[in-house]
Structure 1
């Protein structure tokens, strides 16, 4: 199995203070990798660096073998890398469908865009019923579904998700996780999932990375991490 995303010796800091300290890992094509750890571990910083929003002081990020050092955020999206940031950042003044269309703005084939929208409505049925509803009228769960669906309209090969379960009801979280697992199994989508809901993330992941104080302290199959009681107590709080 080939690596869709490779991170090597990544060092990132703010104001001279290091946040990531030599982080290295691979995310194999068609897998879900759960990036877990407590507040301040560096999960969001890592995702923002991979997506191009932050510039590392050392190290590299490769997408399908291509070094992204000189590739800007928009071009990373065109190459197949998409991020859903924490906070369900939909445009609240636009409808569900208008938000989704924004995700496919750079797609030149109208039929392709229509097909992508239809697929999102099939995956996230609540959005189909709310397609003319403004973003500010949606529930928290519907906003999260919309944020993920908007990223998927671009048909990325690698999807970065930052805390998608934050503040959501367990049933909504379970639905979102099910859709992600289904997409990986059916389409070969690759997902790097940063989560504080450790049990939920590991339940759908193939592999798990434990981040603590900016360093990867464990990298194992997800089931092994979930079953390691000493490691869970030391780093994951459950």
Structure 2
């Protein structure tokens, strides 16, 4: 059984042409899948549709054996879907520690929540050193680490990430994606990683899916996709 499956997904805004048109996608359990494509290919729209932030025109979404199609965004999160949206979703007025405790509030009881927060500090030592620091003083890389740690605290079965490397230095990107790959390998977390930085995404993924004009243009093992010069030049920009 797939961790997450889309069957005939069609999504658009208002009365305009579909942004995603009849898309089929299966995510293998415990694997990192890179979702690639140029700006306007439909990556963010797909993630928003999966989480219920954009309504479907047609199609079905399954999380394991659970049909998410008619569920609210909140119910999808409770069923095991997680999202780190573009823009580093942290509460900048709160400290790092307050952000993390807030992220685990609904999933853990008090004692378990404390242990889960400490686990995140183990994964992200840079955050451990900044526990009492307000979010607005963090660097871009630290904010993205905090957004990822908050999402992981909710113990999702499938985690969606939208452009996590946007605006980050190469070193910060490598650290963030390294933690993501290690966490997926250790816990069996399934990850769909939407990225403009195709080379970085493919370096941590088992599989790459390329979108073009709302349809799947390629779906291949990550190493094979990265080694194909025709595909790289046509769709990935490197």
Per the TM alignment, residue 108 of structure 1 is displaced from its structure 2 partner at its CA by 4.6
Q: Could you tell me how far 1:11 is from its partner in structure 2?
A: 0.4
Hey, what's the Cα distance between the residues in 2 that align with 1:230 and 1:7? 27
User: Matched residue of 1:57: which SS?
Assistant: strand
Task: Report the counterpart of residue 189 of structure 2 in structure 1.
Answer: 189
1:15 is displaced (CA, Å) by: 2.0
1:6 aligns with 2:5: yes
The residue that corresponds to 2:174 in the other structure is 174
Q: Name which of structure 1's ranges 211-220 and 67-76 shifts more when overlaid on structure 2.
A: 67-76
1:16-41: per-residue Cα shift (whole Å, max 9, x none)? 22100111111111000000000000
Distance in 2 between residues matched to 1:178 and 1:147, nearest whole Å: 15
- The answer to whether structure 1 residue 94 and structure 2 residue 94 are counterparts is yes
Unmatched tracts of structure 2, length 5 or more: none
Q: Which residue number in structure 2 is paired with residue 157 of structure 1?
A: 157
Instruction: Output the CA distance in 1 between the equivalents of 2:73 and 2:87.
Output: 19
**3-state SS in 2 of match to 1:54:** coil
What is the distance in 2 between the residues matched to 1:42 and 1:107?
31
Q: TM-score, normalization: structure 1? A: 0.98
What is the CA distance between 1:201 and its match in structure 2?
Answer: 0.2
Partner of 1:109: 109
Match of residue 35 from structure 2: 35
More deviation, 69-78/193-202: 69-78
Q: Trace 1:66-85 onto structure 2 (pairs within 5 A).
A: 66-85=66-85
**Partners in 1 of 2:89 and 2:183 — Cα distance?**
22
Aligned residues: 237
1:6 CA drift (Å): 0.4
Q: Secondary structure at the match of 2:218?
A: strand
Question: Which consecutive residues of structure 1, in runs of 5 or more, have no partner in the other structure?
Answer: none
Partner Cα distance (2:37, 2:198) in 1: 8
Question: C-alpha deviations, 1:39-71, integer Å up to 9, x for none?
Answer: 000000000111111111001111012110121
The structural deviation recorded for 1:107 is 2.6
Contact residue 107 and residue 155 of structure 2 kept, 8 A: no
Counterpart-to-counterpart distance in 1, 2:193 and 2:76: 18
| Corresponding residue number in structure 1 for 2:139 | 139
TM-score normalised according to structure 2 size: 0.98
Aligned 8 A contact 2:161 2:194 in 1:
yes
Query: What per-residue deviation string (whole Å, max 9, x for no partner) do you get for residues 192-230 of structure 1?
Result: 000000000001001110001111010001111101100
Structure 1 ranges of 4+ moved more than 3 A: none
Shift in Å at residue 74 of structure 1? 1.1
What SS is found at the alignment partner of 2:86? coil
SS in 1 for 2:3: strand
